[in-house]
Structure 1
Amino acid sequence: MQLSRFTDLGLRALMRLAVSSGAEERVTVKLIARQVNASENYVAKAVSKLAELGFVESQRGRTGGIFLTAAGRTTTLGKITRALEGDCEVIECAGDNPCPLAGACNLRGALGRAQEAFYAELDRYTIIDVVDQRTVDLLYLPHMPTAAFANE
């Protein structure tokens, strides 16, 4: 299964925000885009959706920025990924060009179960679980306390 670029950028943005010290550190879409090697426009769209879902909060203005919410810290990666990916199946059997094998095929069911297994594995982790000191070091934030990360 391959995640969309939108979901990838949303998860990267959450990882970047997870290493921030909160409201006292100003993190912008521009900074995140630069640090995750992505378009500012694409990151802005992902951050907007994350804010709509309640995983991040943003403050406008000169001293504004983007912050991870309590929900963003505690919600599982599976739930976040499901929310960003939407309710789509791995393959499309119907639609404008329906598959002629749909009536006699078990592939759709097998792929659906595999997708749920994928999400179930992601449900074992939060964004904090996948961020460690190496992530902090890559983002040039040496002031973050090492004890804050469990995956060292």
Structure 2
Amino acid sequence: MRLTVFTDLSLRIVMRLAVAEEEALTTRSVAAMMAVPYTHAAKAVARLSEMGLVEARRGRGGGLRLTRAGFSATVGSIVRELEGAGDVVGCEDDPPCPLREACRLRGELRRAQEAFFAALDEVTVESLVASPTGKILVALQPPEQTP
């Protein structure tokens, strides 16, 4: 199973925020650190905020913070929420698959997808940022702007 770019970016943002401590990070600075367009990062931050994993405050003294729920969240729960529980294959697409009424593949793919999520349920955000990853995440900085 391949994750969408959106899910990958969202996980990387959560990981970076997990090691931020008192560092004031903005969506713009996180986008620069991750080398992605601001608009992509803003959509990911908005979704993570809706999920209760990230707190985003505007204005002076604002910035992004990972919530307690964000620290303790499992990667499986985050990926499930972002990717959705949809089918791995498009059996009901237009035109629908002619095998859909008697196909065993669809069920096996669902079972494999759930096994993928279950493996990720054993991994927390906090465990992802343990050494040596945390040190590398802290070292990420936006590229210097040339005058």
Taking structure 1 as the reference length, the TM-score comes to 0.86
3-state DSSP class of the match of 2:55? strand
The answer on whether the counterparts of 2:17 and 2:64 sit within 8 Å (CA) in structure 1 is yes
Distance between the aligned counterparts of 1:92 and 1:8, measured in 2?
22
Aligned partner of 1:150 in structure 2 is none
Distance between the aligned counterparts of 1:67 and 1:119, measured in 2?
26
Distance between the aligned counterparts of 1:16 and 1:53, measured in 2?
17
Structure 1: which 4+ aligned runs deviate by more than 4 Å?
A: none
Distance between the aligned counterparts of 1:17 and 1:140, measured in 2?
9
Q: Deviation of residue 140 (structure 1)?
A: 4.2
- Match of residue 82, structure 1, among 66, 80, 83: 80
The answer on whether the counterparts of 1:59 and 1:65 sit within 8 Å (CA) in structure 2 is yes
Deviates more, 1:51-60 or 1:94-103: 94-103
Q: Deviation of residue 97 (structure 1)?
A: 1.6
* Residue type at the aligned position of 2:86: C
The answer on whether the counterparts of 1:35 and 1:139 sit within 8 Å (CA) in structure 2 is no
Residue 94 of structure 2 corresponds to residue 96 of structure 1: yes
1:36-115 correspondence to structure 2 within 5 Å: 36-115=34-113
Give the alignment's Cα RMSD to 1 decimal: 1.6
The answer on whether the counterparts of 1:9 and 1:46 sit within 8 Å (CA) in structure 2 is yes
Aligned partner of 1:2 in structure 2 is 2
Distance between the aligned counterparts of 2:33 and 2:2, measured in 1?
22
Taking structure 2 as the reference length, the TM-score comes to 0.88
Deviation digits for residues 104-129 of structure 1 (CA, Å, limit 9, x no counterpart): 32110110000000000010011111
3-state DSSP class of the match of 1:67? strand
Aligned partner of 2:145 in structure 1 is none
3-state DSSP class of the match of 2:56? strand
